[in-house]
């Protein structure tokens, strides 16, 4: 996945990952500036460009020189004023009988700058007699029986991300009428990629899905307008059987320029995440496993992936099976995972990587919050200083009666997880690996409570010897906005350091949360990147 001689860090420069390549992940919203083009496989010297490193990125830190510290997840803020944004059509007025059960939904939501609208593509059962004909109250006393179900793909759009319309597309006939928002039937786990970099406008929107009728296979299709797609074209080879029966998320990798598919395989009756790549969106490599959970009780059901400041972040829907006595049995959590290369993955926080928490009422169906039991998310949309995540939330356990709706929420930009002290009344100590400085900018994203403090000093590469003039007592923090603070040392400049040297940054704080470090720096490659 890496270009020869150029690190992943070197290619991810200052924000959104190569939007001009069609990645736009996190995708850009209507109020956000678009990143400039960067050709795949080319870029500036990674040692001479700014970098951002997040607290949860173990490649930043020296694990031997840390004390009283713990990674904790940031705060996901749900749009309670508007959630749910829309729900299954059988509960709308007028009733939409082709939307009896969204099930997992597998939402693909992005802002389309060309047509100035948000688009949402979602998987569902267009036919499910049990859900269609049984009211929520009747479901209290009946078991859910799977029979006569048919999958499909539907479409909705919005001008503000809050108020959604399910347009009458006139494409697929359902019970004698095409007045519906169905794009395809007998498909599931569909991904739609908006790719403005493709020179062929007829391929602007790229679709990948699992076709279930007439021979199961992963298929591709193209569209000029995001609605009228070409007929599905089966993969010429390598379509997994079984497999692909999940949220098949496609993005264009900014390092290689390849299309990357994150899909699912099965191994000994366990769901595992897998990856396939393509140069042309038509011919795909054999999917190979890249990530798995732990046994039956924590399976990676699906994992949409997006690029963010030099890392890949995965929105892992974690399915809990294997022990009916557990409180979380047959539910799906939404955790955040991270990787530097897409092939090895890590939890953000070892204790609990839950990113989008469930609403209350897991056992209260048909009551309870719309997202009380199951969550599947779309990659985020960046708008100003917020990353908005649209997600399908379900109330009712995964394999039983369930109602699913689209919701949304956000995290503040760059605030995925932070280092905080295990014992709040004692200082927290953190030390980075060696950093090389090629200019003066060095900032830390930190929240400091009233009565709290944070100091910084520079040491030798091993983190054992303080550099003269860069002692903690001389450090100063200057607020630069948004929680970012410039680190300076009284009477000194990092430009005075050996330009070829690497120096460890030691941070000591109390009553503080440390989210990220950024600036004219790069981390010593040793132990950070695989050969």
Q: What is the pLDDT of residue 526?
A: 63
Q: What is the pLDDT of residue 527?
A: 55
Query: Is 172 among the domain residues?
Result: yes
Mean pLDDT of 457-474: 96
Could you read off the pLDDT of 286-312 as tens digits, one per residue?
Answer: 999 999 999 999 999 999 999 999 999
Query: Is 22 among the domain residues?
Result: no
Domain extent for 335: 77-412
Burial of 123 (0-12, 13-18, 19+ CB in 10 A): buried
Q: Are residues 478 and 369 in the same domain?
A: no
Q: Are residues 340 and 209 in the same domain?
A: yes
Query: Is 394 among the domain residues?
Result: yes
Structure-model confidence comparison of residues 108 and 528, the more confident one: 108
Report the alpha-carbon distance of residue 379 to residue 307 in Å, rounded.
10
Q: Are residues 89 and 183 in the same domain?
A: yes
- The CATH number assigned to the domain holding 197 equals 2.115.10.20
Query: Is 16 among the domain residues?
Result: no
Q: Are residues 178 and 273 in the same domain?
A: yes
Q: Is the pLDDT of residue 169 over 50?
A: yes
Q: What is the pLDDT of residue 45?
A: 72
Q: Are residues 102 and 189 in the same domain?
A: yes
Helix or strand or coil: residue 66? coil
Could you read off the pLDDT of 405-426 as tens digits, one per residue?
Answer: 999 999 999 999 999 999 988 9
Q: Are residues 205 and 237 in the same domain?
A: yes
Cis before 175? omega within 30: no
Q: What is the pLDDT of residue 432?
A: 97
**Domain boundary pick from 384, 412, 440:** 412
Answer for the pair 44, 13: CB distance below 8 angstroms, yes or no.
yes
Report percent pLDDT > 90 for the chain: 88
**Domain boundary pick from 377, 412, 447:** 412
Query: Is 10 among the domain residues?
Result: no
Cis before 84? omega within 30: yes
Q: What is the pLDDT of residue 43?
A: 54
Query: Is 515 among the domain residues?
Result: yes
Q: What is the pLDDT of residue 1?
A: 33
Spatial neighbors of 310 by CB under 8 A, at least 6 apart, are: 8, 9, 11, 12, 51, 52, 53, 340
Q: Is the pLDDT of residue 94 over 80?
A: yes
Mean pLDDT of 324-347: 96
Q: Are residues 433 and 398 in the same domain?
A: no
Q: Are residues 400 and 442 in the same domain?
A: no
Query: Is 486 among the domain residues?
Result: yes
Q: Is the pLDDT of residue 2 over 50?
A: no
Q: Are residues 324 and 350 in the same domain?
A: yes
Structure tokens at 84: 């749910």
**Domain boundary pick from 412, 444, 462:** 412
Q: Are residues 245 and 381 in the same domain?
A: yes
Q: Is the pLDDT of residue 89 over 90?
A: yes
Structure tokens at 507: 């941070």
* Structural domains of the chain, count: 2
């Amino acid at each position: 996945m890496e270009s020869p001689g150029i690190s992943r860090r070197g290619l991810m420069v200052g924000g959104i990952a190569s939007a001009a390549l069609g990645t736009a992940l996190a995708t850009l919203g209507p109020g956000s500036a678009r990143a400039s083009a960067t050709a795949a496989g080319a870029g500036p010297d990674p040692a001479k460009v700014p970098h951002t490193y997040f607290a949860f990125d173990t490649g930043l830190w020296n694990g031997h020189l840390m004390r009283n510290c713990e990674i904790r997840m940031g705060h996901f803020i749900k749009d309670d004023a508007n959630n749910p944004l829309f729900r299954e059509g059988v509960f709308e007025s007028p009733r939409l009988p082709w939307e009896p059960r969204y099930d997992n939904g597998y939402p693909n939501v992005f802002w389309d700058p060309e047509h100035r609208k948000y688009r949402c593509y979602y998987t569902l059962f267009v036919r499910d007699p049990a859900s269609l004909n049984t009211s929520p109250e009747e479901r209290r006393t009946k078991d859910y029986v799977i029979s006569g179900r048919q999958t499909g793909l539907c479409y909705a759009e919005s001008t503000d991300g809050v108020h959604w319309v399910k347009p009458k597309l006139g494409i697929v006939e359902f019970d004698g009428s095409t007045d519906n928002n169905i794009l395809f039937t007998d498909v599931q786990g569909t991904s739609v990629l908006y790719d403005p970099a493709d020179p062929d406008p007829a391929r602007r929107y790229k679709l990948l899905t699992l076709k279930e009728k007439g021979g199961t296979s992963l298929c591709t299709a193209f569209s000029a307008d995001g609605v009228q797609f070409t007929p599905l074209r089966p993969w010429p080879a390598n379509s997994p059987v079984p497999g692909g029966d999940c949220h098949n998320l496609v993005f264009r990798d900014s390092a290689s320029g390849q299309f990357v598919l994150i899909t699912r395989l099965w191994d000994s009756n366990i769901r595992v995440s897998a990856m396939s790549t393509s140069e042309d969106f038509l011919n795909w490599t054999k999917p190979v496993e890249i990530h798995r959970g732990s046994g039956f009780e924590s399976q990676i059901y699906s994992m949409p992936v997006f690029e963010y400041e030099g890392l890949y972040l995965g929105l892992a829907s974690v399915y809990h099976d294997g022990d009916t006595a557990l409180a979380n049995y047959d539910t799906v959590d939404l955790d955040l995972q991270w990787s530097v290369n897409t092939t090895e993955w890590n939890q953000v926080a070892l204790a609990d990587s839950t990113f989008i928490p469930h609403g209350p009422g897991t056992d209260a169906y048909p009551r309870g919050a719309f997202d009380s039991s199951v969550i599947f998310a779309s990659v985020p949309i960046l708008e100003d200083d917020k990353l908005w995540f649209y997600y399908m939330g379900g109330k009712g356990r995964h394999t039983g009666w369930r109602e699913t709706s689209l919701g949304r929420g956000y995290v503040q930009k760059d605030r995925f997880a932070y280092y905080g002290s295990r014992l709040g009344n004692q200082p927290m100590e953190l030390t980075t690996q060696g950093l090389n400085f090629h200019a003066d900018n060095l900032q830390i994203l930190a929240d400091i409570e009233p009565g709290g403090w944070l100091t910084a000093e520079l040491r030798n590469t091993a983190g054992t010897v303080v550099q003269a003039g860069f002692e903690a007592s001389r450090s100063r923090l200057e607020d630069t906005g948004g929680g970012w603070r410039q680190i300076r040392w009284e009477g000194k400049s990092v430009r005075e350091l050996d330009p070829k040297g690497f120096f460890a940054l030691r941070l000591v704080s109390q009553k503080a949360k440390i989210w990220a470090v950024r600036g004219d720096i790069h981390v010593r490659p040793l132990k950070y990147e695989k050969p």
